Amino acid sequence: MYKISPTVQGEKIHFKAPDSAFYEAIGGEEGMRRLMYDFYDIIYESDIAHFFPQDREEFDAIKVRNSKFFIQLCGGPKIYEAETKGMELNQYMVRLHDDFSIYEKSRLEWLGAMREALEKVDIAQHLKDDFWNYIEQFSKLTVNTTIDGSKYYQDL
């Protein structure tokens, strides 16, 4: 149901923020938190859990912070801006991943967790598709390591 296209090193990534109708349909801040907390609980049990703190309190703090990103991104209040240190929202989120070696395989695992969480949400499919289109394309920007271990960065 949800398409995943491969990351191509050097390819220009085209994406747009999700329609704010997604934010409204999912139930605003509270609905976004439910989606993102469910997503991160799936991540905690996934093959990419090692990218996140294993201490439950530290992990929960990341869930809260990253949920703010998605709340703001989807049209909610600007509750993540203090985190960005003056950078554009998407650019800041991409740079947060620079310290990790993110392979395409990790991206696919991340997208699988998001798909699982999104499939549980009971809103119009076209709104979920719009959100997915953002996630699928944007996630390519976090991939920064080739299969041979070489680092690279996609242009935002």
pLDDT tens for 93-106 read: 888 787 888 999 99
Low-confidence ranges of the chain (pLDDT < 50): none
Look at residue 154 in the predicted model and tell me its pLDDT. Answer: 80
Fold type of domain 20-142: Globin-like (1.10.490)
43 vs 110: CA distance, rounded Å = 7
Look at residue 100 in the predicted model and tell me its pLDDT. Answer: 81
Q: What is the pTM of this model?
A: 0.91
pLDDT in tens, 28-42: 999 999 999 999 999
81 vs 93: CA distance, rounded Å = 11
Per domain, the residue ranges of the chain are 20-142
CA 46-97-3 angle, to 5 degrees, is 60
